Amino acid sequence: MNYQHVLEQTIGVPFTEGNKVAILKNGDEIFPAMLSAIDASKSSIDFLTFVYWQGNIAKVFAQSLATKAEEGVDVKVLLDSYGALPMNKDLITLMENSGVHVVWFRPLMRWKVWKADNRTHRKILICDNQIAFTGGVGIAEEWEGDARNSSEWRDTHFRIEGPAVLGMKSGFIENWIESNDALELDLFADQIPETNGSTLIQTIRTSSSVRWSDIVLLYQSLIKLAQKRIIICTAYFNPDQELVTLLCERASEGIDIRVLIPGEHTDQRITKLAAEDVFEDLLSHGIQISYYTKTMMHAKVMLIDEELSCIGSANFNHRSMLKDDEINLVLLDKGINYTLYQHFEEDLQYSKPVDPARWKKRHIFRRITEALVKPFKQEV
């Protein structure tokens, strides 16, 4: 099957060729790579994030960005006004005083009420229009370390080189224009160098301004494309009924489907309860669901067969599909798929599978809790 042609025809976004991708696992690999790219920047840095909280890593990033601005680099920082609300305001002052252009996405107090719940959940860092990063990581102490214990979150981020950087830059520009009310054409965009990479990448950016997104279409398409297996690792699992039905149908056709989500270590318990509402249907069709028990699982990775990988900022939930601005990349690369699958196998060693028989006999109070959460499923 030609995955590329089917996805290009369905989503309407072409793949770019010649990209190079590095997989970064957990904070010990992710943060040094991002900070190294910032430190090496000569002309521009574009940084967009949903979460920017507190801790040492928050200070290190702010200081690094401030230093580059003082050196004359054009540094733009775009923060979601809800996700980054807990951020230490001294760090904002530090960056602004150093010449960093800090802008807030949809300020809560003055944004249109009907859009206040629609956020930008994108995580994008672009340095000199040559190197870009995206994935699940926010800038906060929870992401530091190597997922050794419950205080160090498990996550995956990606370093991208090649023409796919242009598509990621468009995701930054879209949010920047809305927040800054100014279109600044990047006259040096054509300077992105050729790489010796071999990864094909389709860049999907979605907008929270409409009650539909290409993420929905993408997830449906990937599930239908699968010939052998579907692996879903997500921080927040809350699919709509259409996706649940589609997953069950594919499982009935013999597709190996496995889902890995946070267990007791989760920062959003209501989302965990919302997910459990669909467990019985999924489990009855042979879909394996496992709770990651070591720490908070925040990675967002979907693997289709042995070649397709879907990565980025979007979770497998209502918010990412219908409410938030997201950016996802579809990678056509057997080597990347293999490495991510090995990460999944390693994570399963610290996971507990949900037993279908025991789940079917779960306590009445658990069923009542699921029923109480059900009316709020589309909010999480």
Q: Which residue has the higher pLDDT, 6 or 54?
A: 6
Residue 9 lies in a domain: no
Calpha distance 233→231 (Å, rounded): 7
Helices 56-70 and 89-97: angle between axes, nearest 10 degrees: 10
Mean pLDDT along residues 49-58: 90
In this structure, the answer to whether residues 166 and 251 fall within a common structural domain is no
Domain count across the chain: 2
Q: Is residue 8 domain-resident?
A: no
Q: Is 81 found in the same domain as 135?
A: yes
Domain assignment present for 10? no
pLDDT at 222 over 70: yes
Residue 139 pLDDT level (bands cut at 50, 70, 90): very high
Q: Give the CATH number for residue 347.
A: 3.30.870.10
The residue ranking higher by pLDDT, 279 or 274, is 279
Q: Do 213 and 183 have their domain in common?
A: no
On whether residue 2 sits in a domain, the answer given is no
d(CA 157, CA 25): 7
Q: Are residues 212 and 184 in the same domain?
A: no
Q: Is the pLDDT of residue 166 over 80?
A: yes
Q: DSSP letter string over 161-220?
A: ESTHHHHHHHHHHHHHHHHH------TTGGGPPP----EEEEEEEE-TTSS--HHHHHHH
250 and 180 in one domain?
no
Q: Is the CA virtual torsion 245, 247, 251, 254 positive or negative? A: positive
- Within a domain: residue 253? yes
Rounded Cα gap, residues 107 and 48, in angstroms: 15
Q: Is residue 127 part of a domain?
A: yes
Same domain? 323 vs 286? yes
Task: Verify that 154 and 275 share a domain, yes or no.
Answer: no
User: At 372, is the pLDDT very low, low, confident or very high (cuts 50, 70, 90)?
Assistant: low
Task: Please give the pLDDT value at position 365.
Answer: 60
Q: What is the pTM of this model?
A: 0.92
Mean pLDDT throughout 307-323? 91
**Is residue 7 one of the residues assigned to a domain?**
no
**pLDDT at residue 117, rounded to an integer:** 63
Parent domain of 193: 20-197
Residue type, position 164, single letter: A
Cα–Cα distance between 6 and 222 in angstroms, integer? Answer: 10
Residues 172 and 60 in one domain: yes
- Does residue 13 have a pLDDT over 60? yes
Of 85-89, 174-178, 273-277, 284-288, give the range with the top mean pLDDT.
284-288
Domain boundary among 197, 214, 243: 197
Residue 197 has pLDDT above 80, yes or no: yes
pLDDT-derived band at 363 (thresholds 50, 70, 90) equals low
**Residues 286 and 162 grouped into a single domain:** no
Task: Note the pLDDT of residue 204.
Answer: 95
Once rounded to an integer, what is the mean pLDDT over residues 248-262? 98
In angstroms, the Cα distances linking 162 to 4, 78, 315 are 18, 23, 25
Percentage of the residues of the chain whose pLDDT score is greater than 90: 70
The phi and psi torsions of 264 (rounded to 5 degrees) equal: -70, -25
pLDDT score, position 357: 84
1 occurs within a structural domain = no
Average pLDDT over residues 321-349: 95
Look at residue 114 in the predicted model and tell me its pLDDT.
46
Residues 46 and 148 in one domain: yes
Indicate the residue among 178, 197, 216 that finishes a domain: 197
Identify whether residues 185 and 102 lie together within a single domain. Answer: yes
Residue ending a domain, among 150, 172, 197, is 197
171 lies in the same domain as 296: no
pLDDT band at 118 (very low <50, low <70, confident <90, very high): confident
Percent with pLDDT over 70 in the chain? 87
